Structure 1
């Protein structure tokens, strides 16, 4: 009976004048978007682009709480069920990224815009195509810096059901060919991205130049430093390893891109006279002219929980956990003193006696202001409230100090003054600093940012001008050009150093400047890899202050009648929760390729040591 009624309806419609053009049957569906709607609607295409931007990969970034504990800049101090962060060894698959599903989606979108976007203006079509090519190149960069050369696929691979899959089996490109592809793509599209120049969250011309600046610096470094190894890491087909003769060309490309950005519309953030607060504000305020390209967040729409997971202990709101990242003493000491001396903290004199400081923060006096903007240390404040960091008391007994801590945070000693601060530090504890330091950088101070209901909306920086200055300095230095010094001095002056604080440069200085300027921004792991230094820094030695995370605990002196009574001394400690030194092997310079990929494509060459 049902079929009968449908037949009657069909005949009736065909006999009616209103159905003569089949309008009744050709209505757009209500539950799906058609190709014509998607590829011809700037609004829908912008939504598609937002999805793709959201899929851009990172290793530790994008507020992935705990990721940064896997390097020497911090340790894990959160839930014990994740204490593997402190017993971490770099596995063969560490950092692996091989996302050809994403590449396929981008290639499909490019082909569909070319064929189906008939109602877009030429300017709209050109811009969307350029953005897609930018995202694809970004993905290829994220793959090559982890895996070495990967298959370069720029069109859809469509199976013809012939039973022969070999046309779909694309071999790996040479490592340098992937870097060349990224450069060529950026050169081809950068002018097409100019309509986005006012945006910091969509690819624009300067974001393209920033990708050039970074990627070409990586390629140059690998070409130089890999070949300086006693046994360079390479494969016979060049899937891994870049010829040394290519280094200067890549350094030049990086430098040229950096210079174009520096001469563009951006400026180092310098809106706050307080140099330390200024450095924090740079990434927290979402204002100013330093950030070139960022992943954005918005309260009520898309937020992250970095502040929720890392707010200082005494300022938790509705958190069940907090303070999951404890910065390392090694990081804190990498920030130099403003007089130019090295940043080692002076807790003892040449004879091995404790140095007593009048105020708990005095040991950090006259330090690079970037330290304040990056780390919360004793005697500072957050959200306009003083932090309460004090490990315990040092009681003078029988000619020596006896260091004691309270079993309870925030408890007073017998003299009615603080024993152990509510913010710790406390050894072998959860949700409180284990090193004596908390992370400040990118922990939002906005109202309710550390609550579950609101969370934080400060952005994640993909590229900012501070990095570009560092890229320019490094490339210029490697090319033997004197302008590198000016770039470094500009960053140091922004951090409180006097003008022209350095009169000469070394690569060690440049490397340290990258560490302090870009701390917790997802650079150090890849920097040490491209310089071929990772196996030397994370050497597995239990006596190495970089392979092992150390802390610094401050104690209030109890020594009645002595000039040091009421002052503070400091002790270097290895937190109990940090179990094993980081160990990076030569095999870790290139992540292993998943066995499923190797099984599906016999043309794929394994990485060295795998």
Structure 2
């Protein structure tokens, strides 16, 4: 039997070879073979395997893999080289595809092996290890079902008997609802057996509850909103589509799981920094004394477990490595979804309502005054700083010729105008230059402020948050709203808004559209956007492929310094909103994108697998 875990363990072991008598040579045990009994009775070896399994959990976008996809939707665009992500004519049906049973196979093998060979493990050790493996398997099934719909539920090793007949190994797809039900039942079964209290890198009771809350919310949304479509997306045997009458049950489970975490006191919203924008940034990125993060994929420079996310995405003018990039840059679309603290629309005010003249600001950052503090914690915008350094964001100058303004811009970053003052910021924006923002904004969330983190030699050990308490508040709010418990839903949402600077009880009424916007601004760049739009069944409306639909296009904000000598407006700042340069195709999400296509090789190997709709 091929045991990949043995290769992993052998790579980590230092084999000590002791001297032996010449006559014992043929009787020595091989120093390179490890028996089943050795593996499954050694807690350290099992823990090493678990670490490998945690690292193999899939994610569409995360800091060490897939992060470029942040620029494929409407949170950001691609300002780096090779801008294919700015020209996505339509999302391919294979996008988000996942049909990987290798991790499930390894987990099933591990569960059976612990039970069979783990004779010297204590009962408590066997219980905890088995519970952790089942959690990981449930997590993997959630990643499968949210992409593919119903998949075969395999919980035992499938072993070929070499009879020439593979049909005993060929399982049909389970119903989509059955997979979600399996996830819930597994998490219920293991949550009190996981141990790892206080850990934010290994599963514990609250991690299981967090996964359950998210999965049940997805299931409830599909049960409700898929069935509200003019033509619900289904398959005859339920492999795709969840009956509408299941929505209440799923929402109830999502709410109960989130409430148990919130009410436990085991986690609290991060509120340690009086600067609310910095506080929100720290809530996601700070590793020490942060009780908001429930589970993260951690990295550690000292162990050479690092990634290049900061190197590839730091603001151009403050990068530490001349070859660093500024690839993923947030869009104006996202910026304007952060409301003003008086509750008004987040649309930035760059023109007067009466005559359409520019609004003149004393400083670039003034146009963002009194905005939701989560904006500052997520995005670097004009007039702000990073690592204590000003991030110069200025597109050029507007020179008054007596009757109108003329644009003057430069491809030389940091260049001065003829008056000796700044013409173009060291961080752009630029209309055509690469590796500098084309939108007028840069990422702050997940950009590592540690010295040398944006260099090739050091890189970053910023962690990737899988679950945090802020999401649980939003899960609880949405589920409560769907269950008609509006007062509770308002309380959960307003708690998060108050942390962002809004007055207490800032929202008096609530609807699903408001919940959708709160998730957009709270969870931006945390790998939620595409999955949220899919489960609400509005992705095809938001990204409809039309250039006249502002949601399907990417927009930019360009600041200019006014050059108007002798006039009170001289030296002030005005802003232009424009379609983002280098962005060439509106996003198009088709009905066939709600469930990814199944590769033909899978169907060839197992004729019992039915295709997803529209493929």
Give the TM-score normalised by structure 1.
0.95
Query: 1:385 is matched with which residue?
Result: 389
Q: Is 1:376 aligned with 2:364? A: no
* One of 540, 561, 569 as aligned partner of 1:556: 561
1:505-520 equivalent positions in 2, closer than 5 A: 505-520=510-525
Q: Distance in 2 between matches of 1:484 and 1:25?
A: 72
1:346-495 equivalent positions in 2, closer than 5 A: 346-350=349-353, 351-481=355-485, 482-495=487-500
SS in 2 for 1:554: strand
1:308 touches 1:319 (CA, 8 Å); kept in 2? no
Query: 1:58 is matched with which residue?
Result: 59
Deviation at 1:234, TM superposition (A): 0.3
Query: 2:142 is matched with which residue?
Result: 141
Q: Which moved more, 1:148-157 or 1:24-33?
A: 24-33
SS in 2 for 1:250: helix
1:134 touches 1:208 (CA, 8 Å); kept in 2? yes
SS in 1 for 2:301: coil
Deviation at 1:398, TM superposition (A): 4.1
Query: 1:227 is matched with which residue?
Result: 227
SS in 2 for 1:300: helix
SS in 1 for 2:577: strand
Deviation at 1:27, TM superposition (A): 4.3
Mark the structure with the bigger radius of gyration: 1
Query: 1:116 is matched with which residue?
Result: 117
1:319 touches 1:452 (CA, 8 Å); kept in 2? no
Q: Distance in 1 between matches of 2:271 and 2:106?
A: 40
* One of 329, 332, 337 as aligned partner of 2:335: 332
Deviation at 1:38, TM superposition (A): 1.2
Deviations 1:565-606 (A, max 9, x none): 100000012233111011000000000000000111000010
SS in 1 for 2:165: coil
1:78 touches 1:321 (CA, 8 Å); kept in 2? no
Query: 1:323 is matched with which residue?
Result: 326
SS in 2 for 1:262: helix
1:283 touches 1:458 (CA, 8 Å); kept in 2? no
Deviation at 1:29, TM superposition (A): 2.5
Q: Which moved more, 1:219-228 or 1:108-117?
A: 108-117
Query: 2:12 is matched with which residue?
Result: none
Query: 2:239 is matched with which residue?
Result: 239
Query: 2:315 is matched with which residue?
Result: 312
Query: 1:574 is matched with which residue?
Result: 579
Q: Distance in 2 between matches of 1:483 and 1:473?
A: 7
Deviation at 1:24, TM superposition (A): 6.3
Aligned Cα RMSD in Å? 1.3
Query: 1:70 is matched with which residue?
Result: 72
1:65 touches 1:324 (CA, 8 Å); kept in 2? no
SS in 2 for 1:227: helix
1:76-115 equivalent positions in 2, closer than 5 A: 76-80=78-82, 83-88=83-88, 89-115=90-116
Query: 1:498 is matched with which residue?
Result: 503
* One of 563, 582, 593 as aligned partner of 1:588: 593
Aligned CA distance change for structure 1 residues 23 and 515 (closer, same or farther; 3 Å):
farther
Deviation at 1:489, TM superposition (A): 0.4
Give the TM-score normalised by structure 2.
0.94
Question: Mind listing any 5+ residue stretches in structure 2 that lack a counterpart?
Answer: 1-19
Deviations 1:504-552 (A, max 9, x none): 1111111000000000000010000000000000110112222111100
